[in-house]
Structure 1
Amino acid sequence: MQVKTIKHRRFDEEANREYKIPVSFFNTIRNDPMSLYDTAYKFIRHHIDREVPRLKELMEYYQAQNEIKRWSGSPNPMNAHNQVASGFARYITNIRVGYFLGNDIQYKIVDDDGQDKTLADKIKELLKGYNDSSDTPYVDEMLKKDLSITGRAYDLVYVNEGETTLNLAKVDPTTVFVVYDDSIKARPLFAVRYYQTGVLDEQLQEQYEIYTDNALYRYHSDGGVPETNSPEQAVVFDGEEPLFFGRVPLTEYKNNDERTGDWEPELDQMDALDKAISTMANFQEDFNDAAMVITGKFADMTDPVYALDKNGNKIIGKDGKPIILEPAHPRVNSHNRMFYLKPYVMQTALNGERQIVAPSLQYVTKQYDSAGWSTYTNFLINEIHKYTNTPNVNDPNFASNASGVAMSYKLWGSDQERKIQESLYKCGLHARLSACLSYWDKINAIPGTNNVEDLVGMIDPNFDPNLPKNDDATAQLIQTLASVPGLNSLQTLREIEEKITGVTADAEQQRVDDEREHELRQASDYDNGATGIGKVFATGDRAEVDNQQQGD
């Protein structure tokens, strides 16, 4: 059977390859820095040559530097050549990021057996401090942005030198990759980050970092990425640092199994839309600068320029007429808004009859099917919205007063993708939390002897899609649920109220506890004669009355 291949690919066939090596091979090189770099460099070279071009082109689309910017346009240099790039990619990505992570991820600490509340409280305290100091909500949003654009994203858990506080950073996907083992589980073996340093374009050095589950290896080479076939001879090993994360601390997140962006499959439609809009822009500009065709004679003509002798007399030619150096021509000024024409007499060649030609003036333009253009562009816009599962807020049927069921159907496709992406994002969060908990366990920040995977299992990340709010409907729902005894816990009702008040259920519980404690303390003070009239009876002291003003 003949295998048919795609003739025209937008990206290299190897542009989205996942890197894997056998565990047995990795174990032979993991403790040898130069052998490890030699293997890593093969992937670096592939990453630079085959994968980075795709990532950079997708990022260019997000910045509205679309393929239309390379469009050659009309071969006539006098024609307009507009290159109008749409911002569709940015629009879709920003909608997806806001919908997915517009509300911060909430981490619930679940203690199933209820026996170790101290441990749960400690994890909660550590995690809150880490999220606050590392600004994880912002990092999560930037990770989702990279996922939407390139289909992959990376974060790094690290500790600054001389500190014990954990930090989190998003890493540029064009400068990093992870190498996995060749098992079905595909466990990460090591990760590579490479970047250039220097003063503008001078003193360039390429820096390399290789992360394993227990060490960080640093290297550098002068002049950027080495082109030699023997990279171990061009690179300098700078040193090794121990890591205490129990796993590779550089985590890869996937947007889907194919590692494609949210709008990547619709690039052809976007290019077609850009070309349609650019063509219309060119037509409008060419229409304004259309050529003028004039029939007849100009009433305002210049005098001919004759050849003169040294005395200033006209020189007569062989035909007995003065020699004309520059014939008379119409006085045409493109800035004039009015031209004066007159008829002229034309003699026919057949019988010598004379014919008067009436003057005329008109522009030469081509007709453009504006209705067809509008239909075509609207078709492309709707196709992009449909196949990227992005709601079209300009759709007249997408109304703010639509019922909840109608809005749910509009967002049905988005919710299907969101569910898949949420599951994959939780996998990345699991790896991040595993690195954090393993480190905290190593430095004895968590009491007792613990299994890190069990600790990770106690943390439940909750995603709350960011949708337009209907506070009235939510308030009515709370009243309905609260009116049925035993139907919902107070905690559940407070979690629903959070969507209106913005106060988390835990914070609301803390407020209630504080108010109750304050009321009990006041009642106790009164009963013990510390305040109020009770103090008079308890101590026998005279009650103090403020001095009244005269006349009161």
Structure 2
Amino acid sequence: MAIIRDRELIEKDIPVELIASCIKEHQEGIERLNLLDNYYLGNHAILERPSDEDLGLPNNRLVSNHAKYITDISSGYVFGNPIKYEGAQIEAITEAYKAIDIVSHDSELSKDLSVFGRGLELYFMSSDEIPIPKVAVIDPRQIFLVVDDTVEYKSMFGVHYYEKRDMDNEVIGYNVNVYDETKALKYFAEELDGENFKVVEEIPHFYNAVPITEFSNNEEQQGDYEQQISLIDAYNILQSDRVNDKEQLVDAILKVVGFSFGDDEEEMSKTARMLKKHKILELPEVGADASWLVKGLNEAEVEILKDAIKSDIHEFSMVPNLTDENFAAQSSGVAMKYKLLGLEQLAVIKERYFIQGLRERLKLFANILGVKGKAVDMSDVIITMTRNLPENEVTIQELVTLRDFASDETLLSQIPFIEEPTEEIKRVKVQLEEKLKRTQREFGYPIDPPEDVTGDEDEE
């Protein structure tokens, strides 16, 4: 979440003490971000469960990574298809986006939104001979934005800081890069307390605004599975204990009545080894008995509890279990949308906040392209995000029957493997003309029209 400060704290330059104060506040939230990242990577609390080695009881620690499933499904559903931009002067922006593969960038950003609840972009110019505007997704644990305390929350500056290491990969300090509306100020600090910040470099960035944009996953900036962590922990414990019970069942204690395996430990161990080897136990005729001491397992009740916890995880995260029997049958696109109603509500919220960030990105790219002499107006840009959902495709036979009711361009746009219907129509036209000429040549018809000879020769 952006850090809020009074704009009056900045007179001409940003005070080092203010930078250090903001870094300190940012670090207070890193523990939460580390927890969310660990759950996505599969490092769950169950792995830290202590074991009692003295009792020799099994201590399985199973991880069912619902966190990764929730993130991958929600991100793929909302951001699986490329975002489309439409506008009178959008071409310069889209060309710049293609040059930096913005589609892959958006996919990476969507993962940070789902895991951490927010994602941050840093804009810069490439180091090529002909610099181009570029953008990078930065780990939210290393970057933050500082805004003013007005109702508009306008950006004042941003900070990107990370460890500096020597040749032995030992930490020797921190690189602290501070970005305001005109320049990037780079510091080196042994500690982040603000007392020993040394200026390394000051360079202009030409974006005419703070070149950092913060995207939000929702109003609270919470991750998609953040509120389900306790349920995920309960599911891991239940599954781990089920396996523990199975192991204890296999290693059950043999209870014997009416006889002894031996008079001392050596004789009892020898009898136990023979019993294990030959699988035969001879008992006296009267009053003797042998049986296993086992704990009764009610698998039906455990399975009901497991399904209930799993159902709650998917229900409250609004990400359905796609392996459930409700998704087993083949369904039309419309029927599938009804089954994904909860996920669609989640997608609407994610899309709304993502588009807000995209408009900030457009402004920054428009600013830098303006500096390069390409005036771009972003006021009429329409941003369209389409869900990554299987659709009912029209067959070729159905398209042929519609030729008299729709234009060729509209019909070709319904075919998945044709990306540019207009260009395809031009190529087909050229192809037909070449075919006609080839046919005329084969039948001896003149390909080019005869020359038009007009007028009479001069008479002497």
TM-score above 0.5, yes or no = yes
**Which of the numbers 505, 511, 519 marks the counterpart of 2:424?**
511
Deviation track 1:423-459 (CA, whole Å, cap 9, x = no partner) reads 2111111111111111111121x1xxx5x6xx12243
Check conservation: 2:6, 2:148, Cα contact below 8 A.
yes
How is 1:323-402 mapped onto 2 (pairs within 5 angstroms)? Answer: 329=268, 331-334=270-273, 335-343=276-284, 357-358=287-288, 360-402=289-331
User: In structure 2, what is the Cα distance between the partners aligned to 1:377 and 1:512?
Assistant: 57
Which residue in 2 is equivalent to 1:469? 391
Which residue in 2 is equivalent to 1:66? 44
Matching residue's letter, 1:221: A
Q: Report the Cα offset of residue 24 of structure 1.
A: 2.6
Secondary structure of residue in 2 paired with 1:157: strand
Matched, 1:195 2:162: yes
**Which of the numbers 144, 155, 179 marks the counterpart of 2:146?**
179
**Which of the numbers 10, 13, 18 marks the counterpart of 1:39?**
18
Q: Report the Cα offset of residue 537 of structure 1.
A: 4.0
Unaligned stretches of 5+ residues in structure 2: 454-460
User: In structure 1, what is the Cα distance between the partners aligned to 2:433 and 2:207?
Assistant: 46
Change (3 A) 1:520 1:404: closer
**Which of the numbers 109, 134, 147 marks the counterpart of 2:100?**
134
Matched, 1:23 2:1: no
Secondary structure of residue in 1 paired with 2:43: coil
Check conservation: 2:46, 2:233, Cα contact below 8 A.
yes
Larger RCO of the pair (alpha carbons < 8 Å, separation 6+): 2
Check conservation: 1:298, 1:342, Cα contact below 8 A.
no
Which residue in 2 is equivalent to 1:215? 183
Matching residue's letter, 1:511: E
Change (3 A) 1:23 1:327: closer
Which residue in 2 is equivalent to 1:116? none
Change (3 A) 1:247 1:77: farther
Deviation track 1:71-97 (CA, whole Å, cap 9, x = no partner) reads 236686411111111110111111111
Change (3 A) 1:179 1:362: same
Matched, 1:266 2:228: yes
Check conservation: 2:161, 2:176, Cα contact below 8 A.
yes
Q: Report the Cα offset of residue 70 of structure 1.
A: 2.1
Matching residue's letter, 2:287: V
Deviation track 1:358-377 (CA, whole Å, cap 9, x = no partner) reads 2x332211112211110001
Check conservation: 2:418, 2:424, Cα contact below 8 A.
no
Q: How many residues align?
A: 446
Q: Report the Cα offset of residue 291 of structure 1.
A: 1.9
Secondary structure of residue in 2 paired with 1:207: strand
Secondary structure of residue in 1 paired with 2:188: strand
Which residue in 2 is equivalent to 1:252? 214
User: In structure 1, what is the Cα distance between the partners aligned to 2:267 and 2:52?
Assistant: 36
Matching residue's letter, 2:229: L
Across the aligned residues of Structure 1 and Structure 2, the Cα RMSD in angstroms comes to 3.2
Secondary structure of residue in 2 paired with 1:167: strand
Q: Report the Cα offset of residue 461 of structure 1.
A: 2.4
Secondary structure of residue in 2 paired with 1:41: helix
User: In structure 2, what is the Cα distance between the partners aligned to 1:362 and 1:169?
Assistant: 67
TM-score normalised per structure 2 = 0.87
Which residue in 2 is equivalent to 1:431? 360
Q: Report the Cα offset of residue 219 of structure 1.
A: 0.6
Check conservation: 1:107, 1:460, Cα contact below 8 A.
yes
Unaligned stretches of 5+ residues in structure 1: 1-16, 112-119, 305-325, 345-355, 541-552
Matching residue's letter, 2:112: D
User: In structure 2, what is the Cα distance between the partners aligned to 1:375 and 1:467?
Assistant: 31
Matching residue's letter, 1:217: L
How is 1:290-305 mapped onto 2 (pairs within 5 angstroms)? Answer: 290-297=252-259
User: In structure 1, what is the Cα distance between the partners aligned to 2:267 and 2:69?
Assistant: 60
Which residue in 1 is equivalent to 2:69? 91
User: In structure 2, what is the Cα distance between the partners aligned to 1:76 and 1:475?
Assistant: 73
Which residue in 2 is equivalent to 1:457? 379
Q: Report the Cα offset of residue 511 of structure 1.
A: 2.5
Check conservation: 2:77, 2:388, Cα contact below 8 A.
yes
Matching residue's letter, 1:501: P
Q: Report the Cα offset of residue 205 of structure 1.
A: 2.5
Check conservation: 1:21, 1:181, Cα contact below 8 A.
yes
Change (3 A) 1:366 1:148: same
**Which of the numbers 391, 409, 416 marks the counterpart of 1:501?**
416
Deviation track 1:284-321 (CA, whole Å, cap 9, x = no partner) reads 1111122222334468x69x9xxxxxxxxxxxxxxxxx
Matched, 1:289 2:251: yes
Matching residue's letter, 2:389: L
Q: Report the Cα offset of residue 491 of structure 1.
A: 6.0
User: In structure 1, what is the Cα distance between the partners aligned to 2:94 and 2:412?
Assistant: 20
User: In structure 2, what is the Cα distance between the partners aligned to 1:219 and 1:423?
Assistant: 36
Larger Rg: 1
**Which region of structure 1 is more displaced relative to structure 2, 328-337 or 210-219?**
328-337
User: In structure 2, what is the Cα distance between the partners aligned to 1:480 and 1:391?
Assistant: 38
User: In structure 2, what is the Cα distance between the partners aligned to 1:186 and 1:462?
Assistant: 26
Q: Report the Cα offset of residue 258 of structure 1.
A: 0.2
**Which of the numbers 99, 107, 114 marks the counterpart of 1:148?**
114
Change (3 A) 1:482 1:261: farther
Q: Report the Cα offset of residue 251 of structure 1.
A: 0.9
Deviation track 1:171-208 (CA, whole Å, cap 9, x = no partner) reads 11111111111122212111111111213542522111
Check conservation: 1:298, 1:341, Cα contact below 8 A.
no
Which residue in 1 is equivalent to 2:446? 533
User: In structure 1, what is the Cα distance between the partners aligned to 2:66 and 2:269?
Assistant: 51
User: In structure 2, what is the Cα distance between the partners aligned to 1:475 and 1:45?
Assistant: 65
User: In structure 2, what is the Cα distance between the partners aligned to 1:74 and 1:172?
Assistant: 38
User: In structure 2, what is the Cα distance between the partners aligned to 1:474 and 1:94?
Assistant: 33
Q: Report the Cα offset of residue 460 of structure 1.
A: 2.3
Change (3 A) 1:522 1:398: closer
Deviation track 1:263-290 (CA, whole Å, cap 9, x = no partner) reads 1111111111111111111111111122
User: In structure 1, what is the Cα distance between the partners aligned to 2:268 and 2:426?
Assistant: 97
